[in-house]
Structure 1
Amino acid sequence: MDVHVNQLKNISPIDGRYKRSCQEVSEYFSEYALIKYRIIVEIKWLLFLNDKEYFFPKVSEKSLSNITSIMELINDNDILRVKKIEEETNHDVKAVEYFIREKLESLKNEEITKVIPYVHYLCTSEDINNIAYGLCLYNCIHNIIIPNIQNIIDKLKEFSFNYSDVSLLSKTHGQPASPTTFGKEMSNYYYRLYKHINKLKNIEIYVKFNGAVVNFNAHKVCDPNIDWIDNIKYFIETYFNLHFSLYCTPIRDHDYICEIADTLARLKLYIDRFIC
C-alpha cells in the first residue's frame, strides 16, 4: 500500500489508519463539507429573501436559477477558491461571503448585480455556522447512520421470526437454566435497538438565525414592520427542515449534540453486546 507522507501527519487515526472505514462520513464532517454547507446556507438565505419580496430586488426565474446553481454545482475548485480567499480575509465565513459575491459578479447579469449587496445581509457568522453544523449532523444521521443501523435491526427482526422455534439452553449466573429460543434472544436486541433508533430519528436539531446578540437588532433596523421571528422560523423549518431556537445566547447551546452522542453511545453498547 502506498502511503504519502502527508497521511502520516494527520492529527487523528480517523484521517489516517481508519480513513477507508470513515470515507462516507467525510462527506459530512470534513472542512470541505462544512464550507459546502456554509455556501448552501448563504444561498438559501438569498432565495428566502427573494421569496418574501420585502425589500429584495425583483429577480427573474432565470436569474434565480443561476443563483441556485452556485450551491447545486459546488465542486473542488469552488472549495479551493474559498480557502484561497480565506488566506486574505483570515476569516472562514467571510471567505464564503466573498466567494459568493465573486460568483455572482462573474455571471455579469444586471439583475443579479443588484442582489450582490444582500449576500450575508443581516447575518452574523454564527447564524451561518450553527446551521451548517446542524446540517452536517442531520444529513449524516439520516443518510448514513440510521440506514446502517436499520439494516442491523431488520436482520435481528428476521432472526427473531425465522428462529423462534430453535431451542437454546439459557444460563443464569453462569449456570445452565431453563430453555429459551434463539429467536426470542434475538428479539431482545431487536427491541433495544428499535427503541433507541427511534429516539435518534426524533431528536430535534435547534439552530439560531437572529443576529449577533440574538435580538434581531439589524433586522428591526432594516424593517421594523416585518415579523422577523415568524419569518426566520419559517426560513429554518422550510428551507432546512431544522428547528428555530428563539431563546439562546449568541452561541447556540449544543444540547441536541449531547442527545445525539448519548443515543449513539447506547446504540453502540447494544450492538457490541450482540456482537460479543
Structure 2
Amino acid sequence: MPADASTPHARTSLAEVQPPIALGPLDGRYRAAVSPLVDHLSEAALNRERVHVEVEWLVHLATQRVLPGAPVPSAADVAYLRAVVTDFGAQDVKELAAIERVTVHDVKAVEYFLKERIAAAPSVLGEGTVLPALSELVHFGCTSEDVNNLSYALMVRGAVQHVWLPAARALVDQLTALAREHAEVPLLALTHGQPATPTTLGKELAVLAHRLRRQLRRIEGAEFLGKLNGATGTFGAHVVAVPGADWPEVSRTFVEHLGLTWNPLTTQIESHDWQAELYSDLARFNRVLHNLATDVWTYISNGVFVQIPVAGATGSSTMPHKVNPIRFENAEANLELSSALLDTLASTLVTSRLQRDLTDSTTQRNIGPAFGHSLLAIDNVRRGLGGLAVDRERLERELDANWEVLGEPVQSAMRAAAVAGVAGMENPYERLKDLTRGRRLTAEDMRTFVAGLGLPDDVAARLAALTPATYTGLAAQLVAYLED
C-alpha cells in the first residue's frame, strides 16, 4: 500500500530540523523559566567546572611548591589560566566535543583541551611564561572522579545558592506577605471536608509559609563535600611520585580553597551522601509546596479565592467563562516530577559497588531536570499567587450559614462552668451533639439554646456575642510568629 500523509513514513523527520528541536519541555516550552540553571547544571557547565578544577589544581600545586623543581607561575600566568575558565563559551564547548569524539572520555578530553591552551600560552604571554613547563601538572595524581566530584559539588552549590534558593525565598516571602495581609480575614475551616472551627485565611497561609521556611533553613545549611585522593582514595600515586609532600594537607587545603568541605575518607568516588541529604530536603520542600498548590486550588474551587483574568488569555477552548487554576495544576505536576527524580538521586547515589561503579554517572546528569521541574513549579506558584483576590462576601456568607460550628465553644464553656460548680451543666458535649449534629442552625437557634443554659451572666453574654466570623481564637495573632 503506498504511503500517504497519514502514515509516519511520509512525514518530515523532526530529528533533522536545525537548530535541533528539544526532546524535553525544560529545554523547549519552558526554557525561559529554567534557563538560569543552564549556567550551573548543563553538560557545558559540567565541562566548565572540570576546566576550573583542573586549572585551580595546577595553580595550587605550583604556587604551594608541592613538586620539587616545578617553576612558580607568575601572576600573568595564573590570570591566563583562569581566563580559560571565565571565557569558556560556545566555541570551547564545540572544541571539547571534538576532542571527546577522539578520546571517548570526557575528563581526558578536558585534560587535552587545557594542555592545548597551555601550549599556546607563549603566543599570548611571550616566551618568558613558565606554563609549558607545568603542562604535566594538569590532572596530576588525579582519577577522573577527583575532578568530577569537585565539579558536581561546585555546580550544585551554584545552582542552589544562585538560582534555586533566591526563587524559593521569593516565593516564601510572597506567601508570607499574603498571610500578613489576610491575617484577620475569617475563614470557615474544613476538616475531613466538613465545616469546622473557623480560622483566618492569613493563619492558614502562614502555616504553609512557616513549613516552607523551615525547609529553606535546612537547604541553606547544606554541606557540599569534595575529595581529591586518587584512584581508590589512598593517595597511592601521589606518595610514590612525591613522597615528601603532606598529601592529605595538600588535598584539604585545595578542596577548601574551592569553598567545599573536605572529605578525607572515600573510595574512588566521593560518597555522595551530602547530595542525598540535600535532595531529600529539596524533595520535602517540593512536597510542602505541592500541599500549598492543592490547598489553593481547593480554595479557588470553593470560591475563597477569585482568579484575576489575564487579558487575552483563554481558559477553555469551548467554555468562554472559565478561568482555570492552571498555574497550580502545572505546579503540582512539576513538583511530582522533580520529587520523583530527587528521590531517585538520593536513593541511588549513596550506593556504589566496592571501590567504584558507574551508576552515579548517568544519575548525576539528571540533577538539572530535577532542579528544573522544581524551579518551574516555583515560578508557576508565584504567578498563580499573584493573580488571586479574596471574595470576602462569600467567606462571610459561608460562615453565617454554619452556626453549628459554635457547638465547640459552647460545650467548652459549659465544661468550665461545671468545674466551677455551676449547676445544670451536665453532659455538655452530648447536649451540643444532639443540638448540632447533622443540622443547620441559625443565629437565633444557637442564642436561644445558650440563653436557656443558666450560665453565669458574663459567660452567657460572651457566647451570645460570638459569631462564626468572630470565633477565630488567636489565629490573627499567630501570623506574627512568621519569620521574614
Query: What TM-score do the two structures reach when normalised by structure 2?
Result: 0.54
From 108, 120, 124, the counterpart of 1:106: 120
The one-character-per-residue Cα deviations of 1:214-263 (angstroms, maximum 9, x if unpaired) are: 1011211232232211221111112x211122112112222222222221
Residue type of the alignment partner of 2:214: K
| C-alpha deviation, 1:275, in angstroms | 2.2
Aligned to 2:41: 29
1:90 aligned residue (80, 99, 104) = 104
C-alpha distance 6-12 of structure 1, shift in aligned 2 (>3 A): farther
1:246 aligned residue? 264
Give the direction of change, closer, same or farther, for the CA distance of 1:7–1:118 in structure 2 (3 Å limit). same
Deviations 1:184-238 (A, max 9, x none): 1111011111111111111212222100011011211232232211221111112
One-letter code of the match for 1:256?
W
Runs of at least 5 residues in structure 1 that lack an aligned partner in the other structure: none
Contact 1:7/1:16 (8 A) holds in 2: no
Q: Identify the match of residue 122 of structure 1 among 126, 141, 152.
A: 141
Q: Which residue matches 2:351?
A: none
Q: CA deviation at 1:3?
A: 10
**Larger CA deviation: 251-260 vs 81-90:** 251-260
Find 1:227's aligned residue among 224, 235, 246. Answer: 246
Partners of 1:30 and 1:228 in 2: CA distance: 32
Deviates more, 1:34-43 or 1:229-238: 229-238
Q: What is the CA–CA distance in structure 2 between the aligned matches of 1:191 and 1:99, rounded to whole Å?
A: 49
Unaligned runs of at least 5 residues, structure 2: 1-13, 123-127, 295-484
Q: Tell me the CA shift for residue 94 of structure 1.
A: 0.9
In 2, are the aligned partners of 1:207 and 1:242 still within 8 Å (CA)? yes
Please name the residue that 2:88 is paired with: 74
Equivalent residue number for residue 288 of structure 2: 270
TM-score (norm 1): 0.91
Please report how far the alpha carbon of residue 93 of structure 1 lies from its aligned counterpart in structure 2 after TM superposition. 0.8
2:274 alignment counterpart: 256
Deviation of the 1:10 alpha carbon = 4.9
- Alpha-carbon contact 1:28-1:136 (below 8 Å) kept: yes
- When the two chains are superposed, the root-mean-square deviation of aligned CA atoms in Å is 2.1
- For residues 217 and 26 of structure 1, the distance between their equivalents in structure 2, rounded to whole angstroms, comes to 36
Given the alignment of the two structures, is residue 145 of structure 1 paired with residue 164 of structure 2, yes or no? yes
CA distance in 1, matches of 2:251, 2:96: 27
Aligned pairs (5 A) from 1:181-200:
181-200=200-219
* 1:209 is aligned to 2:223: no
After TM superposition, give the deviation of residue 7 of structure 1 in Å: 7.4
Counterparts of 1:248 and 1:64 in 2: how far apart (Å)?
A: 30
Structure whose alpha-carbon radius of gyration is higher: 2
Q: 1: CA distance between counterparts of 2:275 and 2:174? A: 28
> Residues 8 and 93 of structure 1: is their aligned pair in 2 closer, same or farther, counting only changes over 3 Å?
closer
Q: Residues 42 and 119 of structure 1 are in contact (CA less than 8 Å); yes or no, is this contact kept in structure 2?
A: yes
Q: Which range is displaced more, 196-205 or 15-24?
A: 15-24
Q: How many residues align?
A: 274
Q: Which amino acid in 1 is paired with 2:49? A: Y
